[in-house]
Amino acid sequence: MAPPPSLMRAMLPGGLKAIAGALVANLTGLLVIAEDQPRAENRVELNPSAVDRFGLPGARIFHRYTRRDLAARKALLSRAKQVLREAGALFSVTWNVNTFSHAVGTVRMGEDPMTSVLDRDCAFRGVPNLWVTDGSVFPTSAGVNPSLTIAANALRVGSLIAGGVR
């Protein structure tokens, strides 16, 4: 899939804009996705010193890549470039996406109360009538988009709640 011409014009320096505009139909993209290793040190905490307009604390995100995470990125990037070369690419450009897309594991479900704040049905332990059904319940996403898994789990938990099982 080629990037939209408007993105090309916005992101490229002066002289390259015209060239890229003419070649955009011959461009393609290859996205490489790797999952970070789960680490207790990677977490979200309340930040009482950064309150929003309602007086509620903001979030403080702690995140660091492990050596394995960086090695996986390097290996995948190398392989992606090889695939593009073999497909006939004359050159490639690496664009690092620094985001927490599909973040999971911050409010985990599980059997063990010591490692999961939610039970297997996504009910918050010790707080009646509180369920969590977003991506945070999963300890891992296996490095893929978890949207359908999130939706399926939400339907499962919703059925339990609507059926009065809890």
Residues 15, 37 contacting (CB under 8 angstroms): no
Choose the catalytic residue: 102, 106, 134, 160.
Answer: 102
pLDDT at residue number 91: 84
> How much is the pTM?
0.66
d(CA 146, CA 54): 31
Tell me, yes or no, if 102 is annotated catalytic: yes
pLDDT of residue 2: 65
Q: What percent of the chain has pLDDT over 90?
A: 46
Coil, strand or helix at 77: helix
Both structure tokens of 16: 């390259």
The single-letter code of the amino acid at 100 is F
Can you say whether residue 143 is alpha, beta or left, with left for phi > 0 and alpha for psi between -120 and 50 degrees?
A: left
Q: What is the pLDDT of residues 105-140, one digit of tens each?
A: 889 999 999 989 999 999 999 999 999 999 999 988
Amino acid identity at 161: I
Which pLDDT belongs to residue 145?
A: 84
Tally of CA atoms within 13 A in the half-sphere of 13 that contains its CB: 0
Which residue blocks in 12-116 are alpha helix, DSSP H? 14-23, 67-86
Torsion angle of C-alpha atoms 80, 84, 85, 88, degrees rounded to 10: 170
Q: Give every residue of the chain whose pLDDT is below 50, as ranges.
A: none
